[in-house]
Amino acid sequence: MRNSSFTVAVTSLFLLLGCEQSSFDQASFDPLRGVKFAVVATPEPCLPTSPPTIVAPPSTEPPPTEPPPTEPPPTEPPDPTDPPTEPPPDPTDPPDECDVPLLTRTQGFWKNHTCVIDGVVGGLSLLPVSLGATVTFDSSAEVQAYFQTPPKGDPQIILGHQLLAAKFNAKAFGIGNYVFADVDADGDLETVDELLALGDVAFDEGDDERRLVLGAVLDELNNAGDGESLPFNPACGGKGGK
């Protein structure tokens, strides 16, 4: 009887401790603990398809008509005494890196620059844009309204804001190949594109801790290139600009 009561008491104590250990204390949680960042973020070697770049807005002028094809000039046989114009490429050379700066802007910029999201400035529409498989924004007004939604501690909205800004940065500035941080502690640094994919999964089905970790890492990313100059004037006139 006495042993039985003691067992019940001990069991209750363990259950109590177990409950306390499994509860998630968001206030004291450090989302960047254990996350390793690249000392200097660097782009991975360029993929066969080059990253997107800012392009000029489409011209309204009709395309110039091409002149009729002319016959190619007769080629002369190569002079065996001519020196070769270019040496053959050295196979031991390292592959080229993507020649784009790590350029980013924070969610505050994107909230206030709907004209850049629309492509009116910068020449590249960043819409539609999705968060996970569940949320899609088709207009910059929807994006702005979402950025203006106070998170109030909701990890999904905290992540959603950072993920949205990071997706705009990746698409507008072509930084998807940058190696940035190891968020799963497997020793391999994830690229920006990989972090965005992980963010999408966490947005849909991640627990609070996972969402806060990815939100904090993407926050770091969105600030990492905030000092780089933009290749265009981001002023949006009197409408949502600054």
The binding site for Ca ion (CB under 5 A) comprises 182, 184, 186, 188
Alpha-carbon distance of 47 to 50, in angstroms, equals 6
In the complex, what is the shortest distance from the CB of residue 194 to Ca ion, in angstroms, rounded to a whole number?
A: 8
The SS3 of residue 147 is helix
Positive or negative: CA dihedral 171, 173, 179, 180: negative
Nearer to Ca ion, 165 or 179 (CB): 179
In the complex, what is the shortest distance from the CB of residue 97 to Ca ion, in angstroms, rounded to a whole number?
A: 20
The label of the residue with tokens 């939604």 reads 149
Nearer to Ca ion, 218 or 236 (CB): 218
Nearest alpha-carbon partner for 194 in 208, 184, 209, 206: 184
Nearer to Ca ion, 36 or 242 (CB): 36
The SS3 of residue 3 is helix
Alpha-carbon distance of 170 to 159, in angstroms, equals 16
Task: State the Cα angle at 55 between 49 and 59, rounded to 5°.
Answer: 125
In the complex, what is the shortest distance from the CB of residue 183 to Ca ion, in angstroms, rounded to a whole number?
A: 6
In the complex, what is the shortest distance from the CB of residue 182 to Ca ion, in angstroms, rounded to a whole number?
A: 4
Nearer to Ca ion, 90 or 186 (CB): 186
In the complex, what is the shortest distance from the CB of residue 117 to Ca ion, in angstroms, rounded to a whole number?
A: 30
Per-state percent for the chain, helix, strand, coil, to nearest 5: 35, 10, 55
Nearer to Ca ion, 121 or 202 (CB): 202
